[in-house]
Amino acid sequence: MLIGRAEELAQLRAYLARRQPALLVGPVGVGKSALLREAVDGLPSVVAVPTLQPLKPALLLLAQHLHAQGRLTLPDLDSQYLDWSEVQPQLSPLSTARLLERLVPLAQGMTLVVDDFDGITPSLARSVEPLFETLLMVGAITTVELTPELQRFFWHFRLLPLEPLPQVEARLLLWHQVDRAQLPAPDAFERHVWEVAGGNPLAIRELVRQAHQGGDLQHEAGIHYVDLTPALLLLGAFAVIARFLALGLHDIEGYILAGSFGAVFMTTRYFLYRQLRRSS
């Protein structure tokens, strides 16, 4: 279930309807893969690959899909009555360039979904250029770097930025994942999730998963802590002031006592904060 992505979903489906290549652009966990799956759901002849790097495994997945549809017709390969397990060993020895040359004419009207375009290189971009002639390519990427070598490749695509969810939609996603009534302090848990995850859907789901692993959905956000920081600051300031007063009054005993108190205070503070970091 997609929450807060109606506008982006409608735009992506419009690109698909017009057979325009499109790229979802956004940070990790923002929901690009989920939006891609929702947009292509129900379309005919969709092939999904995790990445195009390396290219050959992706092309073999494309060939497998063509074989399943009875469209893998090659002059030197009688695959119509063969299982894929028998066809693949005949295709695997082919070079990537040769395999690409054979598959491009057969991929007419197909949709290729690439889950991750990150790290695409100029040489790979040049290799996949022929695919734009016959099939529709859509995918996801974290950032688009329009270097001179990659400009031609990215010009094929309509870029659709995907931002983290606003707070209202993030709240809806959170309470769709977990029953509010099962939490001892739901408001505190909600604040914690927003502070940590913001509107990143994957981060929200991960925090909910961590909460579920606690059995009764206890979460550190539901625990009320007493903030000792002001008291510690006052004690530290008191030690410094007392030391300077003793120095001004030439009170050697008071100066030593204040200094000793300051040393004990700093040591205690160090171990206290260290223990808090370990338990957090």
Q: pTM higher than 0.75 for the full model?
A: no
| Model confidence at 9: pLDDT above 50 | yes
Least confident of 125-139, 156-170, 182-196: 182-196
pLDDT of residue 216: 42
Q: Which residue would you say has higher pLDDT here, 25 or 237?
A: 25
At 32 the three-state DSSP class reads: helix
Q: What is the mean pLDDT of the segment spanning 100-129?
A: 93
- Integer Cα distance of 148 and 266 in angstroms: 56
Q: Which residue would you say has higher pLDDT here, 239 or 120?
A: 120
pLDDT of residue 236: 64
Phi-psi region of 269 (alpha: psi -120 to 50; beta: other; left: phi over 0): alpha
Give Cα separations from 58 to 7, 26, 150 (angstroms). Answer: 30, 23, 20
Band (209; pLDDT cuts 50, 70, 90):
confident
The pLDDT tens digits for 234-277 are 766 776 677 667 667 777 776 677 667 667 766 776 666 555 44
Q: What is the mean pLDDT of the segment spanning 64-88?
A: 83
User: Which one, of 187, 221, 228, lies nearest residue 207 by Cα?
Assistant: 221
Q: Mean pLDDT, the chain, as a whole number?
A: 83
Q: What is the mean pLDDT of the segment spanning 217-243?
A: 55
Q: Measure the CA angle with vertex 10, ends 6 and 13; round to 5°.
A: 135
| Model confidence at 220: pLDDT above 50 | no
- Integer Cα distance of 208 and 174 in angstroms: 8
Least confident of 81-85, 87-91, 111-115, 239-243: 239-243
| Model confidence at 214: pLDDT above 70 | no
- Integer Cα distance of 84 and 79 in angstroms: 8
pLDDT of residue 70: 87
| Model confidence at 219: pLDDT above 50 | no
The pLDDT tens digits for 135-163 are 999 999 999 887 888 989 999 999 999 99
The pLDDT tens digits for 33-61 are 999 999 999 999 999 999 998 999 999 99
E strand or H helix that includes residue 158: strand 158-161
Give the rounded distance of the alpha carbon of 252 from its chain centre.
61
Q: What is the mean pLDDT of the segment spanning 84-97?
A: 90
